[in-house]
Amino acid sequence: MANEYVLVGTLKIVKILLNFVNQEVLPDLNINEDAFWSGAESIITELSPENRRLLNIRDCLQAQIDEWHRTHPGKYRDITEYKQFLYDIGYLSPRYNDENIQINTNNVDDEIAIQAAPQLVVPLMNARFTLNAANARWGSLYDALYGTDVISEDDGCERTNKYNKKRGEKVIAFTQKFLDQSIPLMNNASHADVIKYDIENGELKITLRDKNTTQLQYPNQFIGYQGEADRLNSILFVHHGLHIEIQIDLPGIKDILIESALTTIIDCEDSVAAVDAYDKVQVYRNWLGLMKGNLEAQFVKGKETIIRKLNPDRIYTSKTGNELRLPGRSLLFIRHVGHLLYTDAILNNDNQEIPEGILDALITTLIALHDINDKRKERIQNSRKDSIYIVKPKQHGPEEVAFTSNLFCRIEDLLKLPRYTLKIGIMDEERRTTVNLSACIREVKDRLVFINTGFLDRTGDEIHTSMEAGPFVPKSQMKESKWLNAYEKNNVEIGLKCGLSGKAQIGKGMWAMPDMMASMLQQKIKHLQAGATCSWVPSPTAATLHALHYHQIDVSNRHTELNSLSLLSNDYLDDLLTIPILNTTLTNEEIQHELDNNIQSILGYVVRWIDQGIGCSKVPDIDDIGLMEDRATLRISSQLMANWLRHGIITKQQVIETLQRMAKIVDRQNANDTEYQPMASNFDQNIAFQAALELILDGHKQPNGYTEPILHRRRCEVKSLQQQNIISH
């Protein structure tokens, strides 16, 4: 269906977007339609050329780097010379004394500034998931343990749908240990031996099985309750700044509710497939529902029809008998698209598409006014500090960050918001940002609320930037590489040096194995040991389990330790610039294994993206482990295959043969999905299959190795055929 445009000033705006803004967003905001669109027009017209200029700089730098590697084979190993070259072309910015760059961000909600906790990410196109994520502030520890591999299935403890008492007992034993560690009782008594919790004179009285009474080792941990003092429904505790609620159903504990995803990133970017104005309006409408507090999703689960809404705040009686109100929902960030994308939702005076990042900033901020303008206490509120939290992904270096900050200033002026209302989280996920991180922070020191290692995109950019240097190590070896370890450390240490502790988040990346929770519980604690104040999880259940780590480690103490170590005087630049080029010869089997694995992931993800518009999927790898795949993981797989092709490790014929063989496997894996269109019946005509092929064969030509241009174009082709009923929806 062709876009129907309406001329507004010099802009042509797709009618569906214009109507959405004028009829659903602007009413109640006290902003005049003409004033908004004329301000938007100025911003779009004046800032679009700068967006283009910055993209040209990316291309220009990349061309120079490619040329240098081609004309200086192997020279990248001489770090001094390589570094000098990068300074000469302006890829490396002048160095700053990091301690002189101190962030000064005000009006930041505690969930970001002070409380260390899991961070959830969710695709905004999916209202059902989005509501679930916003409500994932609180999670049932019993459910998280019972439903995952954290509790083993040995000895009759299988995860059965009907309650398995033996498994339940293991769950209870696990939680009692957690309670004893987090809310210890006097004299080493155990919560396992408690038969009653009461309130007496505002203090908690705990009766043990042997009829003795005891108290908390730290009485201030008890802060409130629900129910009557002698007949409690729940008791509220705090530990390391996070709340724990023991729910009581006499004679025992019914459940343990713990604060889980304190913050959530509502994603317009790599986990969504939004390719046109219709998709964008769907995304923006869901954000509007979140900001107004009235988003709903109706769906059938099992035999039940469920209407999911945002949870209200949680109300308790404090020790002194007053109302104690805690947020019922996660504090929400919105992740915009990066500078690369352009959208036909609005065309400029020259009939050119406009930068989609500018549109995201304008519309999502306008929508967020519904949150910060409405002061009713009882309402579903996001920021209690009147801030709007934006994650800006995929920025390359300080100039691009400065551009975003300028855009935010312009929008604040247009919407008459106090300066620095719009806060920014910088994804440290492109190489030119990593190697100039403090210079990037400097550009937004008054609005920065997080830095985060998006190691997935960052790995894709690592490969693409040095595409011409040689063949890269296989994906599994990337974890051990020098640059990656330096990158993780550099991010935390620069964050601490620039004063983020207590003011902003220092975040770590996604746990991409959504079903492997036992392994997550073992490994993700490392992020806190490294000094992270939050770390990404793929689901609410993962958030509840990862929250346990924040009860084991007090991150603010860890910051004090790290600050006192001479660690912070490290300079990681040389290690960051160490390119992970393969230095052994792989056997044919090893090569084929890597091919199979990458191509299965690529196809498994791409087919759902292109045919069904699903931006984030769980796709089995070659060992049948379900992996979270999004555009960033696709960037890695496609760039690695493109790199191996470029350097003759694999041939075009091998790529095609593997794609065809793997397509049959992916078709089988999706056999139960009624919406699924098999690829193997006609490789030449199947658009998803062709997209996967193109991502590899033309991978070396994609701007910074991004997958968006091919994915968007191919998805638009499918949508167009679906609209003409040439292929099924």
Ligand X SMILES: CC(=O)SCCNC(=O)CCNC(=O)[C@H](O)C(C)(C)COP(=O)(O)OP(=O)(O)OC[C@H]1O[C@@H](n2cnc3c(N)ncnc32)[C@H](O)[C@@H]1OP(=O)(O)O
- Asked if 338 interacts with ligand O=CC(=O)O (CB under 6 A), we say no
- Site mask, ligand X, residues 587-626, x = CB under 6 A? -----------------------------xxx--------
Q: Which of residues 625-644 bind Mg ion (CB under 5 A)?
A: 632
Q: Catalytic pick from 308, 335, 608, 714?
A: 335
- Asked if 630 interacts with ligand X (CB under 6 A), we say yes
Q: Which of residues 591-630 bind ligand O=CC(=O)O (CB under 6 A)?
A: none
Cβ burial 331-352 (10 Å sphere, 16+ → b, else e): bbbbbbbbbbbbbbbbbbeeee
Partner from ligand O=CC(=O)O, ligand X, Mg ion, none contacting 271, C-beta within 5 to 8 A by type: ligand X
- Asked if 457 interacts with Mg ion (CB under 5 A), we say yes
User: Interface with ligand X by CB under 6 A: which range of 115-123, 177-185, 196-204, 338-346?
Assistant: 115-123
- Asked if 638 interacts with ligand X (CB under 6 A), we say no
Q: Which residues contact 480 (CB under 8 A, 6 or more apart)?
A: none
Among 402, 632, 687, 688, binds ligand O=CC(=O)O (CB under 6 A): 632
Q: How far is the CB of 509 from ligand X (least distance, A)?
A: 7
* Cβ nearer to Mg ion, comparing 612 with 707: 707
Among 344, 429, 430, 461, binds Mg ion (CB under 5 A): 429
Three-class secondary structure of residue 44 per DSSP = helix
Strands 314-318 and 222-228: antiparallel
Q: How far is the CB of 357 from ligand O=CC(=O)O (least distance, A)?
A: 15
Q: How far is the CB of 585 from ligand O=CC(=O)O (least distance, A)?
A: 30
- Asked if 532 interacts with ligand O=CC(=O)O (CB under 6 A), we say no
630 part of the active site: yes
- Asked if 311 interacts with ligand X (CB under 6 A), we say no
With both helix axes pointing from N to C terminus, report the angle between 687-697 and 588-612 in degrees, rounded to the nearest 10: 130
* Cβ nearer to ligand O=CC(=O)O, comparing 98 with 270: 270
Q: How far is the C-alpha of 688 from the C-alpha of 717, rounded, in Å?
A: 10
Strands 11-14 and 342-347: antiparallel
- Asked if 122 interacts with ligand X (CB under 6 A), we say yes
* Cβ nearer to ligand X, comparing 338 with 454: 454
How big is the site for Mg ion, counted in residues (CB under 5 A)? 4
- Asked if 454 interacts with Mg ion (CB under 5 A), we say yes
- Asked if 47 interacts with ligand X (CB under 6 A), we say no
Which residues pair with residue 423 across a beta bridge?
A: 389
Q: How far is the C-alpha of 574 from the C-alpha of 716, rounded, in Å?
A: 43
Partner from ligand X, ligand O=CC(=O)O, Mg ion, none contacting 507, C-beta within 5 to 8 A by type: none
Note whether 435 and 678 are within 8 A (CB): no
Partner from ligand O=CC(=O)O, ligand X, Mg ion, none contacting 617, C-beta within 5 to 8 A by type: ligand X
CA 90 to chain centre: 30
Q: Which of residues 92-111 bind ligand X (CB under 6 A)?
A: none
Q: Which of residues 202-221 bind ligand O=CC(=O)O (CB under 6 A)?
A: none
Q: Which residues contact 334 (CB under 8 A, 6 or more apart)?
A: 124, 265, 266, 268, 287, 360, 364, 368, 388, 389, 390, 391
Give me the phi and psi of 106, to 5 degrees please. -110, 165
Question: Quick one: tokens of 506?
Answer: 């220092």
Identify whether 118 is preceded by a cis peptide bond (ω within 30 of 0). Answer: no
Note whether 245 and 137 are within 8 A (CB): no
Give me the phi and psi of 629, to 5 degrees please. -115, 130
Residue length, the chain?
729
Q: How far is the CB of 607 from ligand X (least distance, A)?
A: 14
- DSSP category for residue 96: -
Three-class secondary structure of residue 120 per DSSP = strand
* Cβ nearer to ligand X, comparing 182 with 453: 453
Q: Which residues contact 204 (CB under 8 A, 6 or more apart)?
A: 197, 198, 215, 216, 219, 222, 235
Q: Which of residues 388-427 bind ligand O=CC(=O)O (CB under 6 A)?
A: 393, 427
- Asked if 199 interacts with ligand O=CC(=O)O (CB under 6 A), we say no
Q: Which of residues 593-632 bind Mg ion (CB under 5 A)?
A: 632
Which residues pair with residue 264 across a beta bridge?
A: 120, 332
- Asked if 455 interacts with ligand O=CC(=O)O (CB under 6 A), we say yes
- Asked if 454 interacts with ligand O=CC(=O)O (CB under 6 A), we say yes
Q: Which of residues 423-452 bind ligand O=CC(=O)O (CB under 6 A)?
A: 427, 429
- Asked if 510 interacts with ligand X (CB under 6 A), we say yes
Note whether 397 and 432 are within 8 A (CB): yes
238, containing H or E segment = strand 231-239
Q: Which residues contact 59 (CB under 8 A, 6 or more apart)?
A: 703
- Asked if 632 interacts with ligand X (CB under 6 A), we say yes
Give me the phi and psi of 289, to 5 degrees please. -60, -40
Q: How far is the C-alpha of 24 from the C-alpha of 12, rounded, in Å?
A: 19
Q: How far is the C-alpha of 622 from the C-alpha of 400, rounded, in Å?
A: 38
Q: How far is the CB of 640 from ligand X (least distance, A)?
A: 16
Note whether 257 and 141 are within 8 A (CB): yes
Q: How far is the CB of 527 from ligand X (least distance, A)?
A: 15
Three-class secondary structure of residue 302 per DSSP = coil
Note whether 699 and 597 are within 8 A (CB): no
Q: Catalytic pick from 431, 630, 635, 715?
A: 630
Q: How far is the C-alpha of 535 from the C-alpha of 555, rounded, in Å?
A: 12
Question: Quick one: tokens of 392?
Answer: 């800006």
Residue nearest to ligand O=CC(=O)O (CB): 454
* Cβ nearer to ligand O=CC(=O)O, comparing 455 with 605: 455
Q: Which of residues 432-461 bind ligand X (CB under 6 A)?
A: 454, 456
Q: Describe the strand order of the beta sheet including 194-200 as a list of residue ranges.
A: 194-200, 203-208, 213-214
End-to-end Cα separation, the chain, in angstroms:
14
Q: How far is the CB of 457 from ligand O=CC(=O)O (least distance, A)?
A: 3
- Site mask, ligand X, residues 527-566, x = CB under 6 A? -----------xxx--------------------------
Active-site residues: which are they? 335, 630
Q: Which residues bind Mg ion (CB under 5 A)?
A: 429, 454, 457, 632
Q: Which residues bind ligand O=CC(=O)O (CB under 6 A)?
A: 270, 393, 427, 429, 454-457, 509-510, 632
Q: Which residues bind ligand X (CB under 6 A)?
A: 120-123, 128-129, 132-133, 267, 270-271, 301, 454, 456, 510, 514, 538-540, 616-618, 628, 630, 632
